Amino acid sequence: MGRPSSLAFRALDLHVVRGRADEPALVTPRGSLSYAQLLHESASFAGGLRDLGLRTGAPVRLDVSDRHLWVVSVLAIVRLGAEPQEEAAFSITGDPATVHAAGEEYEFDLVLRAGRVDPATAAVHDEGDYAERMERRYGDVLATLVHGGTLT
């Protein structure tokens, strides 16, 4: 299987494995999250999204103004290997943020809490050029984290 090298793994998991779990990864007016906390939040949200049916390659729309929730959402989408698109039946939108799936609407925090039961793991490897496309789309978030920086 080889060493994990997916973008999601390199952005968060690798830093935790290398002993940087308690270093700051995200600092917003909502609060600060260490690498371990951001990993837990994004993996939990990804688990909740997965439980609602979001899968690798599935289209998802992201339009959330809250920086903290937007970062967690980006990392969850990348963790699942979903495809961000402007128009998609599956969406994470609004203020307060809500998840729309299969004609239903769910509060962001509810999906996050539900995912804590079975957080999503990072893929071992990304499919095709997925990592490059996500780095182009969300470079400010992903490049900062891959290089061990702190998001604001």
Q: How far apart are CA 78 and CA 56, in angstroms?
A: 9
What's the pLDDT at 5? 87
| Average pLDDT estimate for 85-99 | 96
42 vs 51, 56, 80, CA distance in Å? 14, 16, 10
Classify strands 91-93 and 83-84 as parallel, antiparallel or unpaired: unpaired
pTM: 0.95
- Residue 9 has what DSSP assignment? I
Cis peptide before 59 (omega within 30 of 0): no
| Average pLDDT estimate for 135-152 | 96
**Architecture, CATH, for domain 7-143:** 3-Layer(aba) Sandwich (3.40)
CA end-to-end span of the chain: 35
- Could you give the angle at the alpha carbon of 117 between the alpha carbons of 152 and 124, nearest 5°? 65
79 vs 29, 84, 99, 103, 104, CA distance in Å? 25, 12, 17, 23, 23
pLDDT interval class at 3 (50, 70, 90): low
Give the model confidence (pLDDT) of 11-44 as tens digits. Answer: 999 999 999 999 999 999 999 999 999 999 999 9
**Sequence spans of domains, the chain:** 7-143
Give the model confidence (pLDDT) of 35-81 as tens digits. Answer: 999 999 999 999 999 999 999 999 999 999 999 999 999 999 999 99
| Average pLDDT estimate for 103-109 | 97
pLDDT interval class at 1 (50, 70, 90): very low
